[in-house]
Amino acid sequence: MAQRIDVKDLNIYYGDFLAVQDVSMTIDPQSVTAFIGPSGCGKSTFLRTLNRMHEVIPGARVEGTVEMEGVDLYGDDIDPVAVRRNVGMVFQRPNPFPTMSIRDNVLAGVRLNNRRISKSAAEELVEASLRGANLWNEVKDRLDRPGSGLSGGQQQRLCIARAIAVKPQVLLMDEPCSALDPISTLAIEDLIGELKQDYTIVIVTHNMQQAARVSDRTAFFNIAGTGKPGRLIEMNETSTIFSTPAEQATEDYVSAPFLVRASQDVAAVGT
Ligand SMILES: Nc1ncnc2c1ncn2[C@@H]1O[C@H](COP(=O)(O)OP(=O)(O)OP(=O)(O)O)[C@@H](O)[C@H]1O
Ligand SMILES: [Mg+2]
């Protein structure tokens, strides 16, 4: 079910602005790949090219290829809507539909895709997706209550349930824990560890401990200054990136204390 992704020579533009330059990488199936790097280096931008969400911004475009199991997602005959169905996304802030019930939130993506399913099949899908997101036991008695009545961590797991209900093959997560408390964060991290049995997972995180805990491979992106494009500096096994990276810039980033790294982030944006 999980799919391998091969990115080749990808340049990513917002209009005339080259935001990310010349990225080539392979993302392994049934594994977790982490993207790290200072603010503004293009992690989110690059992530959104993996399910063709980038191009929904007017003027935004890419050069190069993103192949999934050898098929270029940017090929002429590829339907971007089908790509987004196949490659699900979870965002930084949990974004359940607030007035919709927990059940309807889980089914929202499926209904958007116009898939007709019977009532009993829908019930099964709701349970399986909520179990998959480690949320079932906490919500099984209140499926008709609004999704907004859940805690932040529960809402994020609800969003993960919504994403996996459409049975994607790849799951992209952009800082999925940054709005969560430590307990909810650990719950999501555990869940990511389980989901990788079935999915190809890519996670953007500013939390080095999180990257080290959840990912198999890590890609470090960097930016030379404002107006310059972000670049992939190196990618390797996570343990290697954190212990013996090949590039000095990687070493400086991963070994800097959090506050130094945060101020570097600000400096990278401010220069
Ligand atoms: N919609 C947009 N239109 C124009 N430029 C954009 C847009 N979104 C992002 N950018 C620019 O693209 C570059 C990369 O931004 P991006 O959000 O991908 O960085 P990031 O690494 O995800 O940063 P952060 O860690 O702060 O989330 C930045 O220079 C940013 O200003
Ligand atoms: Mg971002």
- Interval between CA 13 and ligand 2 midpoint (Å): 15
pLDDT band at 183 (very low <50, low <70, confident <90, very high): confident
Average pLDDT of the chain is: 93
pLDDT at residue 265, rounded to an integer: 67
pLDDT band at 266 (very low <50, low <70, confident <90, very high): low
pLDDT at residue 116, rounded to an integer: 82
Closest to 248 measured CA to CA, from 220, 226, 227: 220
pLDDT at residue 264, rounded to an integer: 66
Is the pLDDT assigned to residue 125 strictly greater than 80? yes
pLDDT band at 163 (very low <50, low <70, confident <90, very high): very high
Q: Give the ligand 1 atom nearest the CA of 206.
A: 25
Q: Give the ligand 1 atom nearest the CA of 43.
A: 21
Beta bridge partners of 71: 68
Is 135 part of any domain?
Answer: no
Closest to 269 measured CA to CA, from 40, 18, 44: 40
Count of the separate structural domains present in the chain? 1
Closest to 31 measured CA to CA, from 2, 68, 71: 2
Neighbours of 220 (CB within 10 A): 26
CA nearest ligand 1 atom 12, residue:
19
pLDDT at residue 111, rounded to an integer: 87
Is 236 part of any domain?
Answer: yes
pLDDT band at 117 (very low <50, low <70, confident <90, very high): confident
CA nearest ligand 1 atom 3, residue:
14
The answer to whether 25 touches 210, Cβ cutoff 8 Å, is no
- Interval between CA 1 and ligand 1 midpoint (Å): 31
pLDDT band at 270 (very low <50, low <70, confident <90, very high): low
Which CATH number characterizes residue 253's domain?
3.40.50.300
Asked whether the whole model's pTM tops 0.75, one would answer yes
Is 255 part of any domain?
Answer: yes
pLDDT digits 0-9 by tens, 224-248: 998 999 999 999 999 999 999 999 9
- Interval between CA 262 and ligand 2 midpoint (Å): 14
Is 216 part of any domain?
Answer: yes
Is 117 part of any domain?
Answer: no
Give me the domain span that covers residue 258: 5-95+170-267
From the CA of 206, the nearest ligand is 1
Is 109 part of any domain?
Answer: no
pLDDT at residue 168, rounded to an integer: 92
pLDDT band at 268 (very low <50, low <70, confident <90, very high): low
Closest to 201 measured CA to CA, from 220, 216, 183: 216
Residue 19 CA to residue 16 CA, distance in Å, equals: 9
Is the pLDDT assigned to residue 269 strictly greater than 70? no
DSSP for 10-58, please give it. Answer: EEEEETTEEEEEEEEEEE-TTSEEEEE-STTSSHHHHHHHTTT-GGGST
CA nearest ligand 1 atom 25, residue:
39
